[in-house]
Amino acid sequence: MFRCKGAIARVLAGSAFLLLSSLPQAAAQQVPPGQPTATSAAISALDAGNAAEASSLPDRWKLIVSPYVWALSLDGDASLAGFDTHVDVPFSETLKHLDLAIMGNVEVTNGRFGFYVDGQYAQTSQEEELLSNELAVGITTTTLALGAFYRAYEVELGGLTVFNEARVFALEPTIGLRWTKLEATVDALGLSVTKQANWTDPFIGLRLNADLDERWNLWAEADIGGFDIGSKISYSAQAFLGYRTFVLDHPTVLRLGYRVTAQDFETDDFTGSNKFQWDVTQHGPIIGFSMQF
């Protein structure tokens, strides 16, 4: 099929050449010097159309990797096996019992649309004495959020950033899912028991980006979810002050901010007659960086 089209194009081009070469010289002289011919006008129009089409295409896709450390504290109420407890764990206690923590965000965007994955994984353990016996408790918390966003509003603020991009103020609605898993292991008297609960919350939210000057940037995000699908209600909010620089020749934003995440989840526990409840707010300062590839 493509060969056929190529042959037809060559025939048409040859016919056009013969037709133009057979025109009287006087006809060619009727075009005033310096005035564009129909052929040059057509080529100019084609070039203009290609330029307009290219300008309407989205920017190239970028990968942004953002590892971070969240110095979180916990506050709220929890219930398990008929026992109610108030959760009040400052960061100093969290750090004391922390065994492993992995936190980060990966985003893919073309400046207009984008997708991201944000996750936290933490293992804590502690040992207590119960009736002269050693009791070991290990807790693993995993949170994974998948989301998409769209730059719905943008206004240029004038000037360029050090990344040679226009300074802007932008608003981006976002939508996604947040999955949470809590797993507890208790070792006592030579026995080990592990119980877990997990749930998924849909959420909707809004992201804000404001370039303060060529280097400094303010970024914030807030969302609300649950809606009795996973949690009764959940919400998350965070804000960062960022500083643009280059690390290993990659555009990088150093970030310092604060994050708050709250979830109110309830389900039947392993006893079958009691409720497991997790009505806890996690909050604290957060530090990290975002590197573009």
pLDDT computed for residue 273 by the predictor: 75
Q: Report how far residue 186's alpha carbon sits from residue 133's, in angstroms, rounded to the nearest whole number.
A: 13
pLDDT the model gives residue 216: 98
- The C-alpha R_g of the chain, in whole angstroms, comes to 31
To the question of domain 62-292 being in CATH 2.40.128.90, the answer is yes
The pLDDT of residue 20 is: 39
pLDDT under 50 in the chain at which residues?
1-31, 34, 38-39, 41-57
Gap between the Cα atoms of 207 and 273, Å rounded: 42
Q: How far apart are CA 248 and CA 63, in angstroms?
A: 15
- Segment holding 12, helix H or strand E: helix 2-21
The pTM (predicted TM-score) of the whole model is 0.76
Domain boundaries, the chain: 2-55, 62-292
pLDDT of residue 134: 67
Distance CA 258, CA 285 (A): 4
What amino acid occupies position 271? T
Which pLDDT belongs to residue 135? Answer: 66
Decide if 242 contacts 213 (C-beta within 8 A): no
CA 205 to chain centre: 12
What's phi and psi for 7, nearest 5 deg? -65, -45
Q: Backbone dihedral region of 226: left (phi > 0), alpha (psi from -120 to 50 degrees) or beta? A: left
User: Nearest Cα to 238, choosing from 194, 200, 207?
Assistant: 207
Contact criterion met (CB below 8 Å) for 219 and 240: yes
Spell out the long-range contacts of 114-117 with Cβ–Cβ below 8 A and sequence spacing 24 or more. 114/148, 114/149, 114/150, 114/172, 115/146, 115/147, 115/148, 115/149, 116/145, 116/146, 116/147, 116/148, 116/149, 117/144, 117/145, 117/146
